[in-house]
């Protein structure tokens, strides 16, 4: 399990990293390409050698852009499958890992409501989201504490969606992962989703965990909220667009994820 998790995390990190670089490179190439094209329009009568140089800049900026597009496609490819994910099964897996591998000084409390709606997406990636969050919670409680995991169905209405720009109206699963650990001051909270932002020792953290979490949740059309208080603890809330059980009956095009025993 640990190996599988590490490999999935590494793959996801490479995807995030490559995607991040490609995205930045695209922002660099676009003005080069635009400038090269504008120069050719502005200087139609310049000497042949200068025109040739402008064409070279344009052609190579275009090649770069094509390469960037490929890398972005690769990074998105890492984003995964579309299955009907019965999230209750994900929590069973996480619970088992926490119980078997976390220090005994960390008490696990769960309240996973029965008959949770399903999420259409990638079970492996959602598993990774939960793992990243519980591992962070563990690391925030070096002297022990309580790790709480809650999941329930909620309906996001128009009023809520107006207040939270990332939210979409409709049925969602709300997942809360809370710890009683060290907590974070606001200036740290502001930065935690940045790729490579970490406060952990070298070799202990990559700083890609939460940027991966956010990327995966976004790719599922959801969003993440954080509340933290120094010395008290941290609470991550994830909202994932969901489908009611009856709606999945009509999705014969999608496979169903039922956890390890599928």
Supply 95's token pair. 């619970």
Stretch in the footprint of ligand ADP (CB under 6 A) among 77-85, 89-97, 119-127, 194-202: 194-202
Total number of residues that touch ligand ADP (CB under 6 A): 21
From CA 256, how far away is CA 22, in angstroms rounded? 33
CB of 182 to ligand ADP, least distance (A): 6
Of 122 and 235, the one with the shorter C-beta distance to ligand ADP is: 235
Closest residue (Cβ) to ligand ADP?
209
User: Are the C-beta atoms of residues 106 and 138 closer than 8 Å to each other?
Assistant: yes
User: Among 52, 101, 168, 199, which residue interacts with ligand ADP (rule: CB under 6 A)?
Assistant: 199
Of 215 and 241, the one with the shorter C-beta distance to ligand ADP is: 215
Find the binding residues for ligand ADP in span 169-188 (CB under 6 A): 179, 181-182, 184, 188
From CA 135, how far away is CA 221, in angstroms rounded? 24
User: Among 64, 197, 219, 244, which residue interacts with ligand ADP (rule: CB under 6 A)?
Assistant: 197
Handedness of CA 211, 212, 213, 217 (dihedral sign): positive
Q: Is 175 exposed, middle or buried (0-12, 13-18, 19+ CB in 10 A)?
A: buried
**89-102 in b/e burial notation, b at 16+ Cβ within 10 A?**
bbbebbbebbeeeb
Supply 68's token pair. 């960037």
User: Are the C-beta atoms of residues 174 and 237 closer than 8 Å to each other?
Assistant: yes
Stretch in the footprint of ligand ADP (CB under 6 A) among 10-18, 56-64, 65-73, 198-206: 198-206
Name the residues that contact ligand ADP, by CB under 6 A.
132, 136-137, 140, 179, 181-182, 184, 188, 192, 197-200, 205-207, 209-211, 234
């Amino acid at each position: 399990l640990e190996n599988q998790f590490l490999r999935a995390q590494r793959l996801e990190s490479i995807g995030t990293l490559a995607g991040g670089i490609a995205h930045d490179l695209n922002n660099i190439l676009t003005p080069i390409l635009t400038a090269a094209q504008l120069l050719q329009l502005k200087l139609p009568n310049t000497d042949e050698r200068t025109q040739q140089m402008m064409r070279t800049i344009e052609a190579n900026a275009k090649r770069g852009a094509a390469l960037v597009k490929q890398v972005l496609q690769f990074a998105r490819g890492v984003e995964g499958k579309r299955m009907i994910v019965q999230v209750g099964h994900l929590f069973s897996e996480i619970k088992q890992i926490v119980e078997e591998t976390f220090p005994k000084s960390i008490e696990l409390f769960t309240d996973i409501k029965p008959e949770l709606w399903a999420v259409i997406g990638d079970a492996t990636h959602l598993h990774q989201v939960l793992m990243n969050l519980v591992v962070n919670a563990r690391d925030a409680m070096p002297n022990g504490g309580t790790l709480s995991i809650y999941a329930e169905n909620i309906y996001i209405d128009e009023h809520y969606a107006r207040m939270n720009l990332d939210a979409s109206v409709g049925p969602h699963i709300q997942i809360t992962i809370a710890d009683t650990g060290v907590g974070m001051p606001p200036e740290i909270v502001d930065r935690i989703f940045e790729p490579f932002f970490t406060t952990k020792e070298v070799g202990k953290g990559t700083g890609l965990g939460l940027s991966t979490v956010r990327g995966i949740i976004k790719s599922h059309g959801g969003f993440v909220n954080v509340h933290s208080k120094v010395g008290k603890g941290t609470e991550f809330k994830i909202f994932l667009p969901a489908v009611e059980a009856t709606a999945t009956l009509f999705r014969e095009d999608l496979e169903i994820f039922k956890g390890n025993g599928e």
